């Protein structure tokens, strides 16, 4: 792939409509993501228009949470867009690892700001989903892929009435019905993403797209697990079936999230709402509310502690003990009797210093309320002040009451921020009540009893997880403490993750209510006999295709050749995976491109005899180079790769057969050899390699185990198997003069390419008839 003005580094991803490459914009040396339309669609006018429209839309949306476009153009009829390079991966990748509730809230807030900007410019996205949410290197969430976006106030002629575009799992009810949509449809889809971030599940499941759409239309809004109940109201406003009942704008959603953050005591960056005229007033209002709440809480809290300490001397021993415990929890290292006079002076000092600030904050608050009530931004939540004579703080708006409750909780529990969604400290929270000065004796005693009651630990139950086979690692994803067998947990829902090598990772919810729990799970093997898979080399490249081969028994050797005697019954005790094909030139070149000191003589690309490279098996490499490739693959993938032992190679090649060739009685052997195979790659005057996979695979799903190229194995060559015993391990010795090669090649007759075929070759020798394949241990 070549685009003038850009240096292509590597392919990032490929989809049905386009491919994305990491490239350098040469004019300014900037890294960009170069999105190029698929050649198959280059002549399709509709797709070309949609592709160009995406660039035009993004070009009009300048926002830190929306991908930026730097250039658009076409080269040899292939349209391309140069955009932000976002190295942080996608949200779908992060969901596989699990994210915290606070992280989910942060991402939701940034995307809400992005949608607020897009909607204010007259565009709706229509395909909000985790795959279209990427991250910058600083962890900022970025909305991408406006390929199916639509201008609300313009008819672009791209979508007919009744046409459904988008992804079924994330579609709003109106979008699923093919009805006209506005920005509230995007907010519904964002609500689905929020639910998925919190629970690692989608809210609605079904086998068919139509069934999923019906659930979006009719199924009730799902309930979040107990530890996420704080977000249930927000979720219900996002997933309301009717757009009129939904959050009405991205700006309103940002305001609601910031209100939640305020109530939780979180200080976070303000979302950039470039088109929201009321956001400044809301910020002043929230700041003033928070200041008033903090000052009021400090004043009342200090006053209560002073009265409580004074009262200790008149209460009985039991109550004095309770208060002593309360003081030791909330104010360590302070003796009640010693601190009471000091508290009185502190009370006067705090009142003197904070009362003027409180008055100023109150004035700012009232001003902000007045400004927001006369403003034009209906999307912003406007707090109202309580009536000083007729309305108590218990009857005040939710915002202030929740702030007072939150500050009260923070004072009792810990000044540190609490991770919402994690198991909470063992404190029973008391609902905010009307704040009145305790004047009566009974009120003071009731307050002391309430403080003592708050310290009573709720019931907890043990959790002991087991699995078959036993998991290597068990985690609880939605709390910070590490799992340990028999740990005590408060009632609630907990997301378990069980991992074991070569088994599928299991994620499941456990619900603790009123008893100890000992759940047991069965882990499913990741690989079964015949399964084909690959390992990742890096974010964009994978290793060779592997096929899983189960353990088993076989007779090694053959009576047709003296160097394969005596026959030996052997047992392969452990399953393994092997490359389905011989390692190709393309795969070996990837190794050369990434191997240190690649310009040394040993690392030069091997010759291909002018037969071609690409998917042909690599040739003209020695035994050490084959080992180097295996070791490099191990380093890049984190799994152990190596050359096969002779026993493993023959077990693989036989594929359960007990004859000299796995195809047994075939008249024309399905292999590439010089004589007897009727190969179109070999003839009377010469032969050459065939691209891998040109002939049928054996019973294990392995290609070209006979013919094409003989294959290096790990063993030192010996003349026969005498004294070999029943071991399947690699045979090695010092000063090994020859290494074994197995299976025969395009230069051999058909009788010399059987399962048993073997010969010795000097390890430093290169041949156009010898290649290799690799084994991956499981």
Mean pLDDT of 691-703: 92
Q: Name the pLDDT band for 352 (thresholds 50, 70, 90).
A: low
pLDDT of res. 292: 53
As a whole number, the mean pLDDT across the chain is: 77
State pLDDT tens for residues 492-507: 889 999 998 878 889 9
pLDDT of res. 348: 53
Distance from C-alpha of 179 to C-alpha of 157, rounded to nearest angstrom:
16
pLDDT of res. 114: 92
What tokens were used for 15?
């989809």
User: Which of 69-73, 84-88, 241-245, 697-701 is predicted with the least confidence, judged by mean pLDDT?
Assistant: 69-73
Q: Name the pLDDT band for 248 (thresholds 50, 70, 90).
A: very high
What tokens were used for 488?
């005590």
At which residue do the structure tokens 């005899």 appear? 609
Which residues on neighbouring strands pair with residue 548, listed in sequence order? 577
Mean pLDDT of 560-583: 93
Mean pLDDT of 56-62: 78
Distance from C-alpha of 267 to C-alpha of 279, rounded to nearest angstrom:
17
Mean pLDDT of 269-284: 51
Mean pLDDT of 405-424: 38
CA distances (Å), origin 749, targets 304, 619, 674, 676, 686: 99, 19, 6, 6, 13
pLDDT of res. 524: 85
Q: Name the pLDDT band for 468 (thresholds 50, 70, 90).
A: very high
Residue pair 190/143 in contact (Cβ under 8 Å)? The answer is: no
CA distances (Å), origin 570, targets 141, 218, 650, 681: 56, 62, 11, 36
Other CB atoms within 10 Å distance of the CB of residue 221:
16
DSSP code of 696?
-
Residue pair 17/165 in contact (Cβ under 8 Å)? The answer is: no
Q: Name the pLDDT band for 168 (thresholds 50, 70, 90).
A: confident
pTM: 0.43
Q: Is the pLDDT of residue 179 over 90?
A: no
pLDDT of res. 40: 67
Mean pLDDT of 683-688: 82
Q: Is the pLDDT of residue 169 over 50?
A: yes
pLDDT of res. 680: 86
pLDDT of res. 663: 83
Q: Is the pLDDT of residue 32 over 80?
A: yes
Q: Name the pLDDT band for 281 (thresholds 50, 70, 90).
A: very low
Mean pLDDT of 679-696: 87
pLDDT of res. 190: 95
Q: Is the pLDDT of residue 741 over 50?
A: yes
State pLDDT tens for residues 574-623: 899 999 999 999 999 999 887 655 445 566 789 999 999 999 999 999 99
Q: Is the pLDDT of residue 544 over 50?
A: yes
Mean pLDDT of 225-240: 92
pLDDT of res. 675: 83
Q: Is the pLDDT of residue 362 over 60?
A: no
Mean pLDDT of 226-235: 90
* Share of the chain residues as helix, strand and coil, in percent rounded to the nearest 5: 35, 20, 45
Of 129, 170, 173, 179, the closest CA to residue 150 belongs to 179
pLDDT above 70 coverage of the chain, percent: 69
pLDDT of res. 446: 52
């Amino acid at each position: 792939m070549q685009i003038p003005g850009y240096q292509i580094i590597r392919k990032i991803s490929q989809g049905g409509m386009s491919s994305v490459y990491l490239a350098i914009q040469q004019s300014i040396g900037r890294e960009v993501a170069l999105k190029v339309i698929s050649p198959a669609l280059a002549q399709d006018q509709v797709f070309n228009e949609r592709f160009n429209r995406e660039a035009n839309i993004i070009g009009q949306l300048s926002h830190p949470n929306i991908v930026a476009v730097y250039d658009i153009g076409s080269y040899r009829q292939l349209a391309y867009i140069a955009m932000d390079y976002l190295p942080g991966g996608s949200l779908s990748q992060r969901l596989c690892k699990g994210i915290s509730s606070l992280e989910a809230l942060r991402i939701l807030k940034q995307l809400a700001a992005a949608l607020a900007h897009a909607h204010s410019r007259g565009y709706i996205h229509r395909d909000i989903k985790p795959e279209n949410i990427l991250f910058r290197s600083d962890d900022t969430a970025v909305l991408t892929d406006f390929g199916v976006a639509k201008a609300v106030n313009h008819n672009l002629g791209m979508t007919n009435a009744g046409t459904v575009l988008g992804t079924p799992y994330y579609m709003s009810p109106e979008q699923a019905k093919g009805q006209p949509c506005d920005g509230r449809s995007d907010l519904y889809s964002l609500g689905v993403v929020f639910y998925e971030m919190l629970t690692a599940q989608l809210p609605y499941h079904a086998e068919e797209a139509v069934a999923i759409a019906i659930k979006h239309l009719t199924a009730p809004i799902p309930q979040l697990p107990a530890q996420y109940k704080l977000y249930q109201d927000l979720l219900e406003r996002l997933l309301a079936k009717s757009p009129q009942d939904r959050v009405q704008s991205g700006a309103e959603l940002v305001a609601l999230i910031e209100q939640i953050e305020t109530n939780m005591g979180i200080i976070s960056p303000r979302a950039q709402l470039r088109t929201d005229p009321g956001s400044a007033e809301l910020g002043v209002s929230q700041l003033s509310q928070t200041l008033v709440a903090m000052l009021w809480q400090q004043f009342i809290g200090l006053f209560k502690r002073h009265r409580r300490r004074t009262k200790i001397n008149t209460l009985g021993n039991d109550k004095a003990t309770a208060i002593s415990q309360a003081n030791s929890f909330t104010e360590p290292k302070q003796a009640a009797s010693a601190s009471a006079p000091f508290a009185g002076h502190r009370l006067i000092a705090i009142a003197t210093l904070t009362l003027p600030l409180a008055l100023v904050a109150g004035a700012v608050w009232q001003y902000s309320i007045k400004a927001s009530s006369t403003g034009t931004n209906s999307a912003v939540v406007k707090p109202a002040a309580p009536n000083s004579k007729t309305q108590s703080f218990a009857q005040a708006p939710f915002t202030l009451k929740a702030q007072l409750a939150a500050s009260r909780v923070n004072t009792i529990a810990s000044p540190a921020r609490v991770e919402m969604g994690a198991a909470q400290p063992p404190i029973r929270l008391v609902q905010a009540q009307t704040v009145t000065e305790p004047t009566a004796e009974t009120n003071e005693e009731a307050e002391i009893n309430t403080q003592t009651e708050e310290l009573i630990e709720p019931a907890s139950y043990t959790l002991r997880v087991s699995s078959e086979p036993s998991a290597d690692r068990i985690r609880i994803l939605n709390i910070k403490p590490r799992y340990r067998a028999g740990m005590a947990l408060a009632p609630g829902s907990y997301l378990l993750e069980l991992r074991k090598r070569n088994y599928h990772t299991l994620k499941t919810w456990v619900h603790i209510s009123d008893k100890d729990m000992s759940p047991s799970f069965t882990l499913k093997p990741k690989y079964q006999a015949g399964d084909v898979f690959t390992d990742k080399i890096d974010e964009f490249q994978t290793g060779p295709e592997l096929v899983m081969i189960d353990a088993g028994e076989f007779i090694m050797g053959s009576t047709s050749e003296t160097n394969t005697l005596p026959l030996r019954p052997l047992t392969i005790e452990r399953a393994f995976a092997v490359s389905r094909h011989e390692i190709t030139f393309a795969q070996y070149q990837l190794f050369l491109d990434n191997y240190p000191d690649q310009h040394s003589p040993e690392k030069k690309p091997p010759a291909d005899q002018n037969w071609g490279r690409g998917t042909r098996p690599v040739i003209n490499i020695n035994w050490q180079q084959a080992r180097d490739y295996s070791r490099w693959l191990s380093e890049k993938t984190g799994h152990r790769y190596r050359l096969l032992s002779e026993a493993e190679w023959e077990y693989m090649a036989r594929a359960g057969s007990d004859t000299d060739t796995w195809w047994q009685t075939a008249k024309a052997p399905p292999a590439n050899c010089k004589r007897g195979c009727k190969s179109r790659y070999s003839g009377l005057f010469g032969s050459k390699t065939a691209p891998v996979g040109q002939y049928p695979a054996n019973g294990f799903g392995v290609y070209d185990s006979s013919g094409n190229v003989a294959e290096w194995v790990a063993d030192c060559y010996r003349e026969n198997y005498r004294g070999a015993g029943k071991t399947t391990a690699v045979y090695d010795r010092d000063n090994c003069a020859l290494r074994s090669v197995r299976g025969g090649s395009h230069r051999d007759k058909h009788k010399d390419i059987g399962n048993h075929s073997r010969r010795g070759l000097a390890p430093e020798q290169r041949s156009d008839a010898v290649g290799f394949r690799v084994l991956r241990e499981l």
